[in-house]
Amino acid sequence: MTKYLIDTHAHLDMRINNAGEDETQNSNEQVKEIIAEMEQYGVKKVIIPSVEVKYLNRISEIALKYDNVYSMVGIFPTEAKTYNDEVEEKLLETVKNNSKTVAVGEIGLDYYWDKEFNDVQKNVFIRQIKLANKLNLPIVVHDREAHKDSFDILNEYNINSKVLFHCFSGSVEFMRECVKKGWFIAIGGVVTFKNAIKMKEVAKEVPLDKLVLETDSPYLTPVPYRGKPNKPAYVKFVAEEIAKIRNISFDEIAEITSKNAEKFFNI
């Protein structure tokens, strides 16, 4: 039985600076160190999501340089106002020039920060769903405090793309509705937090054939490194916690979630 892990969502192009901001880019040497460390922890593959158009070239550069790194294209919901025909052409161009593009993401809805442009977010989400359908690529969804709208839009507009809810934050009931549609659930470091009762319940109840793991690094660092920048290597602690919650072996969680990720992203 294989013991390797896959981090399905890690912002290798970003790092948190001393002011706690995330606008700092990882240098080539830092990326090299991060990848070397994850391999030591048994993490075999990692996927970099896209957030803004200005990061696309950097993400592609990293993915094309390393055999075990893959990438996504997409515009984050809080950047929805920047989306236009030119940006969409850039996304298409990136897919054409980067054979390691494995999904459209992270895209979706985020009602946490600013509810003044929800309609813009919805329209851009729909456009990017259609883009994923056109490219026959999976969709990786960012859904923060927008469960119903995210579900309804996907249900109405998605035709042929596989769907993964990144950093799942809904209830067990919402998870079950997503799984009924055949969608996948990604769980990250939050599951290790002592008071994350809802997430622990989801981790216990989600069907194993619909589960993948992630870090969302450099954010949401799991225990025992909570409070420090996250790394793909730390997906190991996510796997350990879920194995404990479900009372099954670490090897079983590693085997199942890695196979799920490879099948979902075709990697």
Model pLDDT for residues 46-98, shown as the tens digit of each residue: 999 999 999 999 999 999 999 999 999 999 999 999 999 999 999 999 999 99
pLDDT for 215: 98
196 pLDDT higher than 80: yes
pLDDT for 22: 62
Average pLDDT over residues 243-249: 98
Pick from 15-19, 76-80, 101-105, 117-121: least confident: 15-19
Model pLDDT for residues 248-264, shown as the tens digit of each residue: 999 999 999 999 999 99
pLDDT for 20: 60
How many CB atoms are closer than 10 A to CB 33?
A: 13
Which of the four pLDDT bands, split at 50, 70 and 90, describes residue 114?
Answer: confident
Radius of gyration for the alpha carbons in the chain, expressed in angstroms and rounded: 17
Pick from 20-29, 131-140, 178-187: least confident: 20-29
Average pLDDT over residues 103-118: 92
Among residues 257, 189, 238, 195, the alpha carbon closest in space to that of 218 is found at 189
CB 193 within 8 A of CB 167: no
Average pLDDT over residues 27-34: 95
Q: Which H or E run includes 139?
A: strand 139-144
d(CA 178, CA 108): 15
| Placement of tokens 């990144």 in the chain | 166
Among residues 247, 241, 211, the alpha carbon closest in space to that of 226 is found at 241
Q: What is the pTM of this model?
A: 0.96
Which of the four pLDDT bands, split at 50, 70 and 90, describes residue 21?
Answer: low
- Written as one string, the DSSP assignment of 18-66 is TTS-S-EEPPHHHHHHHHHHHHHTTEEEEEE---SGGGHHHHHHHHHH-
Provide the CA 204 distance to its chain's centre, in angstroms: 20
Average pLDDT over residues 107-121: 91
pLDDT for 131: 98
Domains with residue ranges and CATH for the chain:
5-265 (3.20.20.140)
- Written as one string, the DSSP assignment of 186-205 is EE-GGGGSTT-HHHHHHHHH
d(CA 63, CA 167): 21
Q: Which carries the bigger pLDDT value, residue 217 or residue 25?
A: 217
